[in-house]
Amino acid sequence: MPTLTVTDDTFKTDVLQADKPVLLDFWAEWCGPCKQMAPALDALAEELAGTAIIAKMNIEDSPDTPLDFHVRGIPTLMIFKDGEIVATHTGAMTKSKLTTWMSENM
């Protein structure tokens, strides 16, 4: 399963009402560290299919949700469970650190 693209319009349904934990990556096209993390997130989306949802929100295309969650820098990663934020991380991570962080918080 590829990463899920989330927008301001689909955030409530895709993230808050999801039946699995959701890792949401706030990113932008011009963000170098965001682009560096993309392959790791794509790989995790495949590895965790059926267990968790890996989602991405472009902050330029959908500015309201990042503002609501006080996203100040990118990449910002948030893990949501049952509609609530359980963990937040700002800055790029390697795939192994990302996997560890997710397992600690999911």
Catalytic site residue 69?
no
- In 3D space, the residue among 34, 15, 33 whose CA is nearest the CA of residue 82 turns out to be 15
- In 3D space, the residue among 1, 69, 59, 3 whose CA is nearest the CA of residue 26 turns out to be 59
Options 22, 23, 24, 34, the catalytic residue: 34
Residues in contact with 38: Cβ distance below 8 Å, sequence separation at least 6, in sequence order: 27
Options 31, 40, 44, 71, the catalytic residue: 31
Catalytic site residue 47?
no
CA-to-CA separations, 39 to 1, 54, 72, 98, in angstroms, rounded: 13, 12, 23, 12
Active site (catalytic) residues: 31, 34
